[in-house]
Structure 1
Amino acid sequence: MSFALLFSGQGHQHPAMLPWLADDAVMQAMRAHLGVEDWRLALADAAWAQRNDNAQILLTGLSLAAWGQIAPLVAQPAAIAGYSVGELAAFSAAGVMDTTTALALAPQRAAAMDECARGAPGGLLAVSGLPVDKLQALLEQTGLAIAIRNGIDSVVVGGPVAALAPAQTLAALAGAHCTPLRVSVASHTPWMQGAADRFSSTLASVSLRPPAATLYSNAADRIRDAASAAHALAAQIATTVRWDECLENIMARQVGCVLEIGPGQALARMWNQRYPGIPARACDDFRSAAAIAAWLNSHDDR
């Protein structure tokens, strides 16, 4: 069997997600980091859910727990990638760090970004349907930067809060579909360079290992050693997430299926639109870890 893992980023979390998750040690540690007893109840509060620190800790913890409960039932994945903050769980799943380290890094990553954002408040805007020339014109007019590249005509732009509303208006007038994202920082743009530098310093004191599985980064293609892992984890905070390239790299591995680990189905949907011949599903589609494992195990190499 050959399959790939995609670890979700923030923005699609909801109180009913991953209903099959058992309350294991990882979940308990996550709740301790969050300072809450009932994360589903906390997540129902929109203000709490939108906070960058809560979201990053929550997404990392849930993804680590989900994969930890699925992994004993399946073989090693053929390829792994994480979307934005999903890289923490992805790198852990690939063996670069243990779950305790990954979960401990989540609040430190969020704190570095929040501190940076206090000096330069920002946000993100998803933009689809703009040809390259019109997108470039939009960036020049507004001063925003590409934060995430999902495809040729599907990107997320980011930058100062004051520039986002004018950008949405201009993009809509040019025929684009726009969606403001539920984040409060200009992730993956130059405005986060201070956060990237601070997180790089944090990672310098962390013991990382070479990945035990094929691992692709948002910022540095395939990760082959501990040094490149540390560099990539910090660099992606302030540089464009090249998700389209991550998907191309995984497709080249000729996997039989793809599983998204995290809330919602955004990454699975993106994969299915791009590569309809290789099925992708999300953990949120299932009611048990055993059902997820059965689906993965039913897809042999193609």
Structure 2
Amino acid sequence: MKIAYLFPGQGSQYVGMGRNLYENFNLAKNIFARADDILQTDLSSIIFNGPEERLNQTKICQPAILTVSITAYEVLAAEYGIAPAILAGHSLGEYSGLVAAGALSFEDGLQLVEKRANFMSEASQKHPGRMLAVLGLPLEKIKEICKEVQPVGLVAIANINSPEQIVVSGEIEGIKKFEEYAIKSGVKKLIPLRVSGPFHTVFMESAAKKLNAELERIEIKRAKISLLANSNAKEIREPEEIKNVLFTQMTHPVLWLEIVKEIKKRNIETFLEIGPKKVLTKLLRRIDPNLLATNVEDKESLKRSKEIICV
């Protein structure tokens, strides 16, 4: 059986994530201790105890999610030894995927996402903005509304998650006007995202340039497992490809729906979401209810995953 491993992005964080793995596996304890040591902060305490407001800060939640995701991945590998056929990560999750693939070391991946988060926060202070999940409006209609609100504020498509869920990102006034137009157009639901800026837009250009300088300083290896890139849904493995993808990702939309379609083309219909919550698992079921999908984030879900992968 061929399996795809998926890694979640920002917004999947919650206070207490990863605690169950920490309490049940020495391997997990070691990874959390390494993260605290690498970042020279008590990241584990913030993850396990909060406060929620601090965990939700971009500079905290990005390394926190990567740490929990890699912990789940390493525990899963140690327990069952099953290698995925392909990997994909949603936005921030792309970094977790690259660590899992051996392209980035855990140390470099953790430090990169911390710096990435800081760069994004700096860019967001210069260009304040919001992100909004749009449910139940066709892609073409969303593009049309983005054009209509442009005189008020720039709004662009940031994630194409499923046929029914598309995320837009942009300036505060533009997003407000977008909400008005979307309601008039019969949108099913609008959900403000728990992020601190207009991510995956041109407003992240300064952040992307700073990140690029950091990418030149670290060692990126050829990935042992192929990963499908956010910005074009194409398979990547080589170091230069990885650098280009991480740079481009900052200012371009996440083509998640296309990534899932690409995985299905490879005759893979079994998916494991590795990390906190079930955001990607739920998206998969909206894309195709026939797909077999579950998540791994604690001891119970780890056992449940065995029913899928050890057959």
Structures share fold, TM-score greater than 0.5:
yes
Note if contact 1:127-1:178 (Cα within 8 Å) is conserved in structure 2.
yes
1:144 to 2:155 alignment: yes
Residue in structure 2 matched with residue 28 of structure 1 by the alignment: 33
- Could you list the runs of 5+ residues in structure 2 that have no partner in the other structure? 23-27
SS in 2 for 1:6: strand
> What displacement does 1:52 show?
0.7
Q: Distance in 1 between matches of 2:207 and 2:304?
A: 36
The alignment's C-alpha RMSD in Å is 1.9
Aligned to 1:270, the other structure's residue is in SS state: helix
Task: State the Cα deviation string for residues 95-143 of structure 1 (Å, max 9, x = none).
Answer: 2112121112111111111111111111210012112342122101223
- Residue 67 of structure 1 is matched in structure 2 by 73
> Aligned equivalents of 2:165 and 2:97: distance in 1?
23
Aligned residue in 1 for 2:99: 92
Tell me the SS of whatever aligns to 2:21. Answer: coil
% identical aligned pairs: 27
Q: Is the 2:17–2:48 Cα contact (8 Å) retained in structure 1?
A: no
Q: Is the 8 A contact 1:20 1:288 kept in 2?
A: no
Match in the other structure for 1:295: 307
Residues 133 and 101 from structure 1, CA distance in 2 versus in 1: closer, same or farther, beyond 3 angstroms?
A: closer
Q: Which moved more, 1:153-162 or 1:26-35?
A: 26-35
CA separation of 1:295 and 1:233: change in aligned 2, threshold 3 A: farther
Quote the Cα distance in structure 2 between the aligned partners of 1:153 and 1:102: 32
CA contact (8 A) 1:272 1:278 kept: yes
Structure 2 residue 89 is matched with structure 1 residue 82: yes
Residues 145-164 of structure 1 correspond to what in structure 2 (within 5 A)? Answer: 145-164=156-175
SS at match of 1:287: helix
Please state if 1:6 is matched with 2:12: no
1:195 corresponds to which residue?
Answer: 207
Q: Is the 8 Å Cα contact of residues 139 and 145 (structure 1) preserved in structure 2?
A: yes
* In 2: Cα distance, 1:209 partner to 1:105 partner: 15
Contact 1:265 1:282 in 2 (8 A): yes
**Contact 2:160/2:256 (8 A) holds in 1:** yes
1:122–1:160 Cα contact (<8 Å) kept: yes
Shift of 1:284: 4.1
- Equivalent residue for 1:210, pick from 208, 222, 227: 222
Q: Is the 8 A contact 1:114 1:185 kept in 2?
A: yes
Q: Distance in 2 between matches of 1:37 and 1:213?
A: 28
Aligned to 1:170: 181
Give the length in aligned residue pairs: 297
> CA deviation digits over 1:277-296, x for unaligned, max 9?
2310112475264x155234
After TM superposition, give the deviation of residue 168 of structure 1 in Å: 1.8
| Structure-2 separation of matches of 1:196 and 1:78 | 30
- The Cα shift of 1:211 comes to 1.3
Instruction: Measure the CA separation in 1 of the matches of 2:186 and 2:298.
Output: 33
The runs of 5 or more residues in structure 1 that have no matched partner are none
Map of 2:240 onto structure 1? 227
Aligned to 2:25: none
Which 10-residue stretch deviates more, 18-27 or 256-265? 18-27
Mark the CA change 1:153 to 1:65 in structure 2 (over 3 Å): closer, same or farther.
same
Query: Given that residues 21 and 298 in structure 2 are in contact (C-alpha distance below 8 angstroms), is that contact kept between their aligned partners in structure 1?
Result: no
Superposition misfits of 4+ residues, deviation over 4 angstroms: none
Identify the match of residue 194 of structure 2 among 182, 188, 209. Answer: 182
Residues 292 and 199 of structure 1, relative CA distance in 2, 3 Å threshold: farther
Q: TM-score, normalised by structure 2?
A: 0.89
The residue number in structure 2 matching 1:272 is: 285
Q: What do residues 216-268 of structure 1 show as CA deviations (whole Å, max 9, x unaligned)? A: 11014110311000110121011111111111111122225111112211101
Distance in 1 between the 2:222 and 2:77 partners?
19
Counterparts of 1:50 and 1:149, CA distance in 2:
23
Q: After TM superposition, give the deviation of residue 151 of structure 1 in Å.
A: 2.9
C-alpha separation in 1, matches of 2:131 and 2:2: 35
Whether the 8 Å contact between 2:72 and 2:298 is mirrored in structure 1 is no
The aligned residue for residue 137 of structure 2 is 130
Equivalent residues of 2:295, 2:301 under 8 A apart: no
Mapped to 1, the partners of 2:11 and 2:301 lie a distance apart of 23
User: Which residue does the alignment assign to 1:56?
Assistant: 62
Q: Is the 8 A contact 2:19 2:48 kept in 1?
A: no
Residue 245 (1) aligns with residue 250 (2): no
